[in-house]
Structure 1
Amino acid sequence: MRFRSLAALAVSVCLAAFGSNASAVGATDVAASSAAPANPPGDDGPAYGPELQGFTYPAPVHQFEFASQGEQLHMSYMDIAPEHPNGRTVVLLHGKNFCAATWEGTIGRLTAAGYRVIAPDQIGFCKSSKPQRYQFSFQQLARNTHALLESIGVKQATIVGHSTGGMLAVRYALMYPEATQQLVLVNPIGLEDWKAKGVPSLSVDQWYERELKTTAGGIRRYEQATYYSGQWRSDFEPWVQMLAGMYRGPGKKEVAWDSALLYDMIYTQPVFYELGQVSMPTLLLIGQKDTTAIGKDAAPPDVRAQLGHYPELGRAAAKAIPHATLVEFAELGHAPQMQDPQAFHKALLDGLAALPAGH
């Protein structure tokens, strides 16, 4: 299947929304800089619905309809078949500030190599349902994902999880080891227990008030510092607008409330205590400049200084997981698949190809 560039499309949409002052930022300009643009776009831009209505994904979006916790829900997903199948399936699990669409580059590389790719939006995220009275847990999200895969005939797959998706991937692998051929963790969060280290608890109401203040500028500053090692490129901007657009739209409060519930889930459900129980071959792809830690900004300075040390966290995880291979990216941050796609995809494809026979 031929992929068009979602990044180029979304940049052009954003430029139109920002007006002629942004015309100097080309859709193909991917040169890195040490700071954000001199005149970065403000908080004006496209508005999207609570299920990302109006934002285009790089492949057709399907809906998995199911009942959960007394509600009828739908889980959006892309299912992309390769032109020359190699018989393997890869499931891509997005992070907290990401969507299935942000895997665009990875989807293209995997399908070109013969892999069938399934990329869902989890319940509470992006194009999927935003239930307002849902008991979010990684176990529930894993069950939802497993039910989706069963519904489309996927009995075994390599599970790739990035950021919060890494926490979900670990939980999925622990719950469904027979269905997990291989596990790949891309800068997963949850490799430390922030609560145990002293990060103060925030109530769901407090998370909600914080989320209501979400702006494109705030997202951009955070992502530049944490995801991209202080760099900024025009091809990062569409993903800022993807998130900010939901907070400009008519479903802002629904989006913010589900986001608050999800942050509470992430904070209260660490997975790293169980890493020793992961039984399948596991590939860890870790950007060393990452400093992500949930609630870090609310912690006192002495606690904050102890958090998000990914060189240490990645090596400790590799030691804890019985069949782990660690690949470190010395100059990359939280999103290596977006910051340096060439280096990331080489490591990913090499790691997938190295799966021992019989797995």
Structure 2
Amino acid sequence: MIEHIGISTAAGRFDALAAGPDDGRPVLLLHGFPQASTEWEHQLATLSAAGYRAVAPDQRGYSPGVRPERPEDYRIEDLAGDVLAIADEFGWARFDLVGHDWGGSVAWYVAAEFPERLRTLTAVSTPHPAAYARAVRTDEDQQQRSSYVPTLQNVRGAEKRLLADDASALRALFEGVVPRSHVREYVERLSEPGAMVAALNWYRGIKYSGHTGKVTVPTLYVWGTEDTAFGSTAALSTEEWVAGPYRFEMFEDITHWLPEQADEGLSRLLLEHLSAHA
């Protein structure tokens, strides 16, 4: 059974979904833009059935209780700090970390900077930030895929455009791939006062953020060949930034929304990865 919980930290109170026995091996799952903890429902249920304690928070800006207004409050260091604060609230000295999209970027950073806190890392869709940055500089295909980023960062009223006409632009991102019940949840949450601005501040906070170094913890990276945001150049070069045990898996004909579109396959890989690094 998946339960709704609150997690109080110095930054504020995070909403979260949780499943599994309280004394189970802890796994923290980080969602991406423009989604919420709901994207991990299948993985939460699978991990719970296997005896893990799985928690998926609605991250900074998505939880009403942690919604600062300034872009500079969305530095990667702050987002990583939220992850550690949540783990500390549960008393988790070490835990397994899973991240998709922006949650993947945060997970990479936590793994690089705080390896002593993690048993394993699982990154979904998102390549290592350094591999991505190099691809944006040198690969025309990745440059085209990333052309939306300046728009989200700089266009005045981008949040209004995404929510106009019953959030038609937002809904179109998920068309035919993500369950409609999940899409309704995302639209409702991002329609809350200040929520979409906060979500876009993740992009606007990039210029205030530091860089991500090499990762030494056991890492699983999963990527879909039809991902519209991240191309093969960054995906294939991610291994250069992992010095520890590394496994790379591709899903053919799967898009960016991999946790929902390939829910069973991802859950199987995740269990295999956790079991291999008990």
Which TM-score applies when normalising by structure 1?
0.66
Partner of 1:33: none
Please give the alpha-carbon distance, in whole angstroms, between the structure 1 residues aligned to 2:204 and 2:153.
Answer: 10
Question: Which digits, 9 at most, give the CA deviation of each residue in 1:227-286, with x for residues without a partner?
Answer: xxxxx15x621222223224555x1xx123212321212477585x62xx2011100111
Is 1:122 the counterpart of 2:59 in the alignment? yes
Partner of 1:329: 251
Structure 2 residues without counterparts, runs of 5 or longer: none
Please give the alpha-carbon distance, in whole angstroms, between the structure 1 residues aligned to 2:94 and 2:252.
Answer: 32
Partner of 1:98: 35
C-alpha RMSD over aligned residues: 2.7
Paired residues of 2:19 and 2:53 also in contact (CA < 8 A): yes
Is 1:339 the counterpart of 2:274 in the alignment? no
Please give the alpha-carbon distance, in whole angstroms, between the structure 1 residues aligned to 2:186 and 2:88.
Answer: 30
How many angstroms does 1:107 deviate by? 0.2
Please give the alpha-carbon distance, in whole angstroms, between the structure 1 residues aligned to 2:76 and 2:47.
Answer: 26
Is 1:262 the counterpart of 2:210 in the alignment? no
* Residue type at the aligned position of 1:312: T
Is 1:286 the counterpart of 2:223 in the alignment? yes
1:239-258 equivalences under 5 Å are 239-246=182-189, 248-249=191-192, 251=193, 254-258=194-198
Partner of 1:171: 109
Paired residues of 1:100 and 1:121 also in contact (CA < 8 A): yes
Larger Rg: 1
Paired residues of 1:288 and 1:332 also in contact (CA < 8 A): yes
Paired residues of 1:164 and 1:266 also in contact (CA < 8 A): no
Is 1:236 the counterpart of 2:179 in the alignment? yes
Please give the alpha-carbon distance, in whole angstroms, between the structure 1 residues aligned to 2:155 and 2:110.
Answer: 26
Please give the alpha-carbon distance, in whole angstroms, between the structure 2 residues aligned to 1:236 and 1:325.
Answer: 28
1:295-306 equivalences under 5 Å are none
Is 1:221 the counterpart of 2:172 in the alignment? yes
Q: SS at 2:10's partner residue?
A: strand
Which TM-score applies when normalising by structure 2?
0.83
The structure 1 residue matched to 2:13, chosen from 67, 71, 74, is 74
Question: Which digits, 9 at most, give the CA deviation of each residue in 1:162-213, with x for residues without a partner?
Answer: 1110100011112211111101001015441276456598488734511111
How many angstroms does 1:222 deviate by? 2.2
Please give the alpha-carbon distance, in whole angstroms, between the structure 2 residues aligned to 1:132 and 1:240.
Answer: 24
Structure 1 residues without counterparts, runs of 5 or longer: 3-57, 68-72, 225-231, 293-307
How many angstroms does 1:345 deviate by? 1.4
CA 218–174 in structure 1, closer or farther in 2 if over 3 Å, else same: same
Percent of residue pairs bearing the same amino acid type? 23
CA 101–267 in structure 1, closer or farther in 2 if over 3 Å, else same: farther
* Residue type at the aligned position of 2:93: K
